[in-house]
């Protein structure tokens, strides 16, 4: 399989899961002291991850939890980020200017900060209460923090059982998804490599990844135009410009938002003959207990889009790492 | 001027401003009793209005304020909507199924509800503490409620002076914007009537209207493809697919988010030769005090897009009221 390293993927996921030994003692202590609210901070792809973690938590918690965009925070501010706020963010480089300034601002506002920094960055390390440096698996890292808080609040009593289940089966389940979706992904890439505008639709813990897949993968890495819309909003505008040949891809999760996307799935065939459904429920995820499947839907569909990306990159002769403007020009 | 009724527009705005006599006594009493948080509920265009009202409030308040999407609320729920929540929404028809169900759900969760219903609807009337029926001016109605709460919290002490100023000058200022932007709008419509994909960018109290202008006007009413992106996020993906001929329109407001959009304005000329800037600051708004201009930026740019719509409709021979699917098919 093109660009697929099974063993390194397995180690990567399992290593991420093991971070609970660092995350949990920290969150347990913070929770003991008391938290007023929780903010997931991000920008671009990390903002998308923040949005989907919030969507996941909202399904279960009565606590105030929100996503904040770093650029907006440093410009307009957000007075809900304060003493008593637990602020959680993830950053690969630790050098995104908006993130650095936002973290400085949240620190000055006395928020308690948990940072996931792929590359440890001395300045950002100083500005947080706990910094965890481990590559990739951003969504899993954020969800692990979210789930621990839900557990502490008695809003997710099966936490131990769930993560024991993930420890045993998650890595292989995701590897399996990549393997079994590869031929579909190649066909998809062949069919859509020349699309002039592709619509991506998703909801719930799938909305962040839908938004990010359009903007951070197709636009930024493939240089292909997309429009993303959430499944609920699809029926309030965007549906009107879908017709027979419009390329539409719908992501369906197994979380509480599933009915929103099923509604789109039921409607699309009436007006469109060029749609694709990527449904997390279609993958066996061997060993994963049914009740926890919804918690990892975004990882399942991400495993599928990973395979699409690899093939699209090859077919379009467009290496995903090149940028023409981002971090190349001043802005 | 095509489809322009000056006197009816003046009366419409002034009539909306006069609703303060109904809004304020209600909010003053609710506030006296105590509010835990505020939720602006909506879907599609009304969700966009909710988002921009929240963006406006966040600039000033330390209170918990959030926008909730009706489809998501009735599916995933939101336990922050509870006894102590002031829930505010606006609906033209009062018949949007997601809104009806969401209001029923919020009512059952003991939220206090303020409804702006253009067409009074007996069922929804029963489910709210105050129902105000007055046509159009949705954004102004929501902002008036928001501003009253800011005033009651001592986060907007100039409230009286501000609305006195709006009473005297707002209607004529907006009329003036429509008149003075009409020839620009006609040129814009001529230039862009065949666009295959138009990018709209905006931030702050302009983001909701940017999102809505793309989705509810161009997609739903003009059947033209758009992608909308917020000014801060523009630099984290979307910028990569903008090139010389890509049609981009940037809305700039005069609220605290202005620097985010100015950054896009400074960057666009480097990579694009087909961009347009619609800046609220370019309109004189005679009589409006400088410190209050930022509160109405979304109304100013909306006045400009009103004129674009009228011309686009005429040039494309596509009446804005026709829908092919929305409320025509079952879904």
Reference A27, options A116, A110, A126; nearest CA is A116
Nearest residue of B to residue A43 by CA position? B233
The answer to ipTM > 0.90 is yes
- pLDDT of A331 reads 85
A96 alpha carbon, distance to own chain's centre: 18
Return the ∠ at Cα B198 (arms to B197 and B200), rounded to 5°. Answer: 145
Give residue limits of the domains in chain A: 6-152, 170-315
Distance from C-alpha of A111 to C-alpha of A44, rounded to nearest angstrom: 22
Using an 8 Å CB-CB cutoff, list chain B residues near A325: 239-240, 271
Largest CA distance in chain B: 57
Burial of residue B166, with CB atoms counted within 10 A of its CB: 0-12 exposed, 13-18 middle, 19 or more buried = buried
Reference A250, options A265, A239, A263, A237; nearest CA is A265
Q: Is the Cβ pair A256, B76 closer than 8 Å?
A: yes
List C-alpha distances in Å: B3 to B7, B139, B308.
12, 21, 12
Using an 8 Å CB-CB cutoff, list chain B residues near A237: 44-45, 215-216, 219-220
Q: How many helices (H) and strands (E) does chain A have?
A: 12, 9
- Res. B213 pLDDT band, cuts 50 70 90: very high
Nearest residue of B to residue A265 by CA position? B331
The stretch B92-101 carries a mean pLDDT of 94
Using an 8 Å CB-CB cutoff, list chain A residues near B198: none
The stretch B139-156 carries a mean pLDDT of 98
- Res. B309 pLDDT band, cuts 50 70 90: very high
- pLDDT of A172 reads 98
Chain A interface, mutation test: which of B205, B232, B243, B246, most A Cβ atoms within 10 Å? B232
- Res. B261 pLDDT band, cuts 50 70 90: very high
With a CB cutoff of 8 Å and minimum separation 6, the contacts of B188 are: B276, B308, B311
- pLDDT of A327 reads 85
Order of strands across the sheet that contains B198-202: B226-230, B198-202, B248-252, B275-279
Q: Which of B197, B257, B329 is closest, CB to CB, to A197? A: B197
Under 8 Å between Cβ of A268 and A250: yes
> Domain A170-315 adopts which CATH fold?
Rossmann fold (3.40.50)
Distance from C-alpha of A27 to C-alpha of A152, rounded to nearest angstrom: 9
Residue A209 DSSP one-character state = H
pLDDT(B153) > 90:
yes
In chain B, what percentage of residues exceed pLDDT 70? 100
Kindly report, residue by residue over B180-205, the tens digit of the pLDDT. 999 999 999 999 999 999 999 999 88
| CATH number for the segment(s) A6-152 | 3.40.50.10490
Q: Which of B219, B240, B267 is closest, CB to CB, to A238? A: B219
- pLDDT of B121 reads 87
Q: Which residue(s) pair with B201 in the sheet?
A: B229, B250
How far separated are the first and last CA of chain A, in Å rounded?
Answer: 39
- pLDDT of A330 reads 86
- Res. B43 pLDDT band, cuts 50 70 90: very high
On average, the pLDDT of chain B sits at 97
The tens-digit pLDDT sequence of chain A (331 residues) is 999 999 999 999 999 999 999 999 999 999 999 999 999 999 999 999 999 999 999 999 999 999 999 999 999 999 999 999 999 999 998 999 999 999 999 999 999 999 999 988 899 999 999 999 999 999 999 999 999 999 999 999 999 999 999 999 999 999 999 999 999 999 999 999 999 999 999 998 899 999 999 999 999 999 999 999 999 999 999 999 999 999 999 999 999 999 999 999 999 999 999 999 999 999 999 999 999 999 999 999 999 999 999 999 999 999 999 999 988 888 8
Q: Is the Cβ pair A76, B98 closer than 8 Å?
A: no
Q: What is the signed CA dihedral for A101, A106, A109, A115, rounded to 10 degrees?
A: -130
Reference B263, options A75, A236, A57; nearest CA is A75
With a CB cutoff of 8 Å and minimum separation 6, the contacts of B87 are: B38, B39, B40, B41, B81, B103, B106, B111, B112, B113, B114
Place of tokens 């040129």: B187
- Res. B3 pLDDT band, cuts 50 70 90: very high
Q: Which of B77, B216, B259 is closest, CB to CB, to A75? A: B259
| CATH number for the segment(s) B159-315 | 3.40.50.10490
Local structure of A41: helix, strand or coil:
strand
Instruction: Supply φ then ψ for residue B319, to 5 degrees.
Output: -55, 130
Chain A interface, mutation test: which of B237, B261, B267, B294, most A Cβ atoms within 10 Å? B237
Tokens of A178: 């990549």
Say whether B159-315 and B6-152 share the same fold. Answer: yes
Kindly report, residue by residue over B53-87, the tens digit of the pLDDT. 999 999 999 999 999 999 999 999 999 999 999 99
Under 8 Å between Cβ of B308 and B295: no
Distance from C-alpha of A136 to C-alpha of A93, rounded to nearest angstrom: 11
Kindly report, residue by residue over A96-106, the tens digit of the pLDDT. 999 999 999 99
Three-class SS string for chain B?
Answer: CCCCCHHHHHHHHHHHHCCHHHHHHHHHHHHHHCCCEEEEEECCHHHHHHHHHHHHHHCCCCCCEEEEEHHHHHHHCCCCCCCCEEEEEEECCCCCHHHHHHHHHHHHCCCEEEEEECCCCHHHHHCCCEEECCCCCHHHHHHHHHHHHHHHCCCCCCHHHHHHHHHHHHHHHHHHHHHHHHHHHHHHHHHHCCCCCEEEEECHHHHHHHHHHHHHHHHCCCCCCEEEEEHHHHCCCHHHHCCCCCCEEEEECCCCCHHHHHHHHHHHHHHCCCEEEEEHHHCCCCCCCHHHHHHHHHHHHHHHHHHHHHHHHHHCCCCCCCCCCCCCCCC
Q: Which of A44, A223, A237 is closest, CB to CB, to B44? A: A237
Between A and B, how many CB-CB pairs are < 8 A? 193
CA A280, A284, A289, A291 dihedral sign is: positive
Using an 8 Å CB-CB cutoff, list chain A residues near B77: 58-59, 256
């Amino acid at each position: 399989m093109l660009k697929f390293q099974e063993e390194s993927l397995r180690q990567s996921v399992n290593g991420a899961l093991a971070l609970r030994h660092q995350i949990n003692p920290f969150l347990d202590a913070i929770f003991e002291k008391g938290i007023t609210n929780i903010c997931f901070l991000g920008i671009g792809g990390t903002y998308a991850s923040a949005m989907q973690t919030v969507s996941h938590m909202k399904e279960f918690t009565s606590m105030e939890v929100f996503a904040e965009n770093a650029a907006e925070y440093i410009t307009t501010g957000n007075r809900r980020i304060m003493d008593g706020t637990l602020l959680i963010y993830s950053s690969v480089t630790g050098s995104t200017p908006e993130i650095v300034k936002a973290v400085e601002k949240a620190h000055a506002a006395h928020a308690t900060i948990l940072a996931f920094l792929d590359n440890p960055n001395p300045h950002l390390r100083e500005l947080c209460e706990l910094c965890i440096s481990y590559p990739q698996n951003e969504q899993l890292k954020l969800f692990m923090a979210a789930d621990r808080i839900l557990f502490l609040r008695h809003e997710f009593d099966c936490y131990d059982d769930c993560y024991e289940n993930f420890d045993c089966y998650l890595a292989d389940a995701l590897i399996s998804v990549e393997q079994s979706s590869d031929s579909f992904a190649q066909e998809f890439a062949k069919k859509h490599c020349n699309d002039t505008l592709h619509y991506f639709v998703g909801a719930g813990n799938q909305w962040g990844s839908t938004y990010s897949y359009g903007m951070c993968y197709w636009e930024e890495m493939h240089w292909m135009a997309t429009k993303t819309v959430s499944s609920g909003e699809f029926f309030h505008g965007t549906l009107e410009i879908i017709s027979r040949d419009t390329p539409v891809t719908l992501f369906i999760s197994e979380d509480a938002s599933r009915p929103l996307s099923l509604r789109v799935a039921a409607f699309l065939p009436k007006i469109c003959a060029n749609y694709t459904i990527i449904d997390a429920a279609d993958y066996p995820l061997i060993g994963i207990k049914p009740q926890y499947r919804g918690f990892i839907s975004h990882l399942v569909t991400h495993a599928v889009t990973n395979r699409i990306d690899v093939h699209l990159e090859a077919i379009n002769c467009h290496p995903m790492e090149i940028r023409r403007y981002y971090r190349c020009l001043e802005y």
